[in-house]
Amino acid sequence: MTRRQQVLDAAIRVLGTTGPRGLTHRAVDTAAGLPEGSTSNHFRTRDALVSGVVDRLLERETELWGRLAVDVSNPDALATAVGCLVRQLADERVLTLARHAVFVEASVRPELGRRIAEAHRRIAEWAGPLIGALGSDDPVRDLRLLLAVIDGLLTNQLANPQPDFAPAEAVRTVLRGMFGPPPIDG
């Protein structure tokens, strides 16, 4: 792991445990076990640090997708893969809380919102054709819905953890609505 990654992973821990107000260069140095000023050497401003956190969160989530989304050849397999991803992200509580803190910060920092929108665009480039191949008549709309379901499941599990958390079943229900037969007009 590079020193930059070490700093960013510590920043994620700080953000995920103390929230946005706790994210300072000094707090990151302490969390990383580095000498004071180390974080500033890589990220001169708090804005640069938060931008680096966005990049690192994307890297780490992409790694999770790569490990978990192996078979997505049909809606049931996709539901299982997405359910595993949601479960993993819920288990990685600090990472996911940091992700949500960044989303909140993006609501008041337009440039950060644009970076998140760019990350969503890259996800759509990868996942949109997959959703289309499974039978969606509007892959962009359906992917947005799926991402909203993922975020909703995560938020609820973080705020009110349930021991019987079964995200795959919820995802499966949503996918049935996307890919199932159209409603019969009566």
Q: Write down how long the chain is.
A: 186
Question: Which two tokens mark 33?
Answer: 């076990």
Q: Is residue 41 part of a domain?
A: no
Q: What is the mean pLDDT of residues 124-152?
A: 89
Q: State the average pLDDT over residues 130-153.
A: 91
Q: Is residue 114 part of a domain?
A: yes
Contact indicator for 70, 148 with CB cutoff of 8 Å: no
Q: What is the predicted pLDDT for the residue at 49?
A: 96
Instruction: Using pLDDT thresholds of 50, 70 and 90, give the confidence band for residue 10.
Output: very high
Q: Which residue has the higher pLDDT, 58 or 4?
A: 4
Q: Take residue 73 and report the two structure tokens written for it.
A: 């050849």
Nearest residue to 170 (alpha-carbon basis) of 140, 156, 150: 150
CATH code at position 102: 1.10.357
Q: How far apart are CA 156 and CA 152, in angstroms?
A: 6
The whole domain housing 169 covers 51-179
The answer to whether 57 and 30 have CB atoms below 8 angstroms apart is no
Residue 10 lies in a domain: no
Two tokens, residue 94:
């600090």
Identify the burial level of 34 via C-beta atoms within 10 angstroms of its C-beta, where 0-12 means exposed, 13-18 middle and 19 or more buried: middle
Domain assignment present for 169: yes
Q: Does residue 142 have a pLDDT over 70? A: yes
In a domain, 76, yes or no: yes
When divided into structural domains, the chain yields a total of 1
117-142: average pLDDT: 86
Residue 85 counted as domain residue: yes
> Is the residue at 39 inside a domain?
no
Q: Encoding tokens for residue 179?
A: 């890919």
Q: What is the pLDDT of residues 69-123, one digit of tens each?
A: 567 788 888 899 899 989 989 999 999 999 999 999 999 989 999 988 888 888 8
Q: What's the chain's Rg over C-alpha atoms?
A: 18
In this prediction, residue 148 carries a pLDDT of 93
